[in-house]
Amino acid sequence: MDLAVLSLPIIFTIVSMVVLLVLVLKIKLPAFIALLLVSIGFGLGVQMATEDVIEAVRSGMASTLGFVAVVVGIGAMMGALLEHSGGVNAISTTLLNKFGENKSQYALALIGFIASIPVFLDIAFIILMPVLLGIQRKTRKPLVYYAIPLLAGLAVTHAFIPPTPGPIAVADILKADLGWVIVFGTIAGLPAAIIAGPIFAKKLAQMSMFQTDAKQESSEQADVSNDNTPPISFGAAITVILLPLVLILASTLIKIGEETSSTDNVIVQTIIFVGHPFVALLIGCLVAWYFIGIRRGMPATALNEAMVKALQPAGTVILVTGAGGVFKQILVSSGAGADLAAMLQANALPIVFFAFFVSVIIRVAQGSATVAMITAAGLTAPVSEAAGLAGSELALLVVAIAAGATMLSHVNDSGFWLVSRYLKFSESQTLRSWTVSTTIIGIVSFAIVCLLWMMV
């Protein structure tokens, strides 16, 4: 590496990353406070004017939350409606019946992939545990044989497919089109989920340490169905999930042909409007509220309570995302972004590799995939802006960051302990199964991103 390009902003960027990790890991400060402190300290350290530091904090927070707060909030409430109505269970039961017992591994991976679109990974995993245990009891195969495919599907969607918070936040910070993110996230994520899920699980099931089936306590499982309402259909549940995604994709496809089509066309403008993430998710949420809630006789007060409750965990994600936007803005305003771009050019390091490896380092060091994605996006955004990237390239950077943030989930990740607790796995078993599976997801998906990068 050419040390000559290590300017003061770059040195402070490295120091800031170390300080951030110390604040989060050692001092145990919340990520929101730690990111704000590091951002302000960085600005003062590179001798920005105090009023410029404050303005960067304000504008970085405002520009990020203006998008993320709406999308994450609506997405969380839509997921709560699906959870409360039994929609996730309807999807899982139908897919398992269609695939059959012999291909149930692949059904579970697909269930995880779909279920984690509107519902946070941990919630979806807990909801689906009864389905997982029912299949395992019926076949008498090791629990890991079915658990890892489900978890692989959940992990891929959690990191790769909007409207989950991670990809939403990264796409906003990088200014990437969500339609492209959905397309590339699916292309890279599905093969990774299959390899890290069903294929890898078959190898794990042959290991002696997984031969003894874990006993599960039924009291730990969440029953979210409502016995006083008719069962929700597969079609209704899957429509609620796919409707906003289809609208977003349709808008993206229309935008691609904007230069050759009439922008004054009412139909074109309508598709673009309803395909904006704000409108698409709002439509999906209202469809869920009425068709799988009110129309099925569920009390409006119960639906309201479930939706409001869903905003509590979303609030933390939103604030951390806003702080990540502040860090990004400080890097831009200080000139560190331009210096990072110059360093990459001087050392011929492709930006896609930079994005991936930064995300991996932060993920391994502090555990949270979402924090790793947001922080890596803050570091990558100034570089991508300086390099003049746009369109599909920005979407591939989002997926590269997601791939890095999925890697090597271990003891400092809450997801690691969630898996260990609910599957009754020891730390060694969880490292051999869940940690390796997440690493396979990261490697395979990043390899696909690299192939796509050479093609776009």
Question: Does residue 75 or residue 430 have the better pLDDT?
Answer: 430
pLDDT in tens, 221-240: 444 444 556 677 878 888 88
Question: Three-state SS string across the chain, please?
Answer: CCHHHCCHHHHHHHHHHHHHHHHHHCCCCCHHHHHHHHHHHHHHHCCCCHHHHHHHHHHHHHHHHHHHHHHHHHHHHHHHHHHHHCHHHHHHHHHHHHHCHHHHHHHHHHHHHHHCCCCCHHHHHHHHHHHHHHHHHHHCCCCHHHHHHHHHHHHHHHHHCCCCHHHHHHHHHHCCCHHHHHHHHHHHHHHHHHHHHHHHHHHHHCCHHHCCCCCCCHHHCCCCCCCCCCCCCHHHHHHHHHHHHHHHHHHHHHHHCHHHCCCCCHHHHHHHHHCCHHHHHHHHHHHHHHHCCHHHCCCHHHHHHHHHHHHHHHHHHHHHHHHHHHHHHHHHHHCHHHHHHHHHHHCCCCHHHHHHHHHHHHHHHHCCHHHHHHHHHHHHHHHHHHHCCCCHHHHHHHHHHHHHHHCCCCCCCHHHHHHHHHHCCCHHHHHHHHHHHHHHHHHHHHHHHHHHHHHC
Higher pLDDT, 57 or 318: 57
Predicted confidence (pLDDT) per residue in 177-197, tens digit: 888 999 999 999 999 999 999
4-25 mean pLDDT: 73
Provide the pLDDT for residue 134.
Answer: 64
Averaged pLDDT, 31-53: 88
Q: Does residue 27 or residue 231 have the better pLDDT?
A: 27
Tell me the percentage of the chain whose pLDDT exceeds 90: 20
pLDDT at site 356: 93
pLDDT in tens, 129-139: 766 776 777 67
- Average pLDDT, stretch 24-50? 86
User: Is the pLDDT confidence value at 429 over 60?
Assistant: yes
Residue 198 above 90 pLDDT? yes
pLDDT at 256: 61
Give the predicted TM-score (pTM) of the model: 0.68
Q: What is the pLDDT of residue 395?
A: 93
pLDDT digits (tens, 9 = 90+) for 365-376: 666 787 788 888
pLDDT digits (tens, 9 = 90+) for 314-329: 777 678 768 877 877 8
Q: Is the pLDDT of residue 421 over 80?
A: no
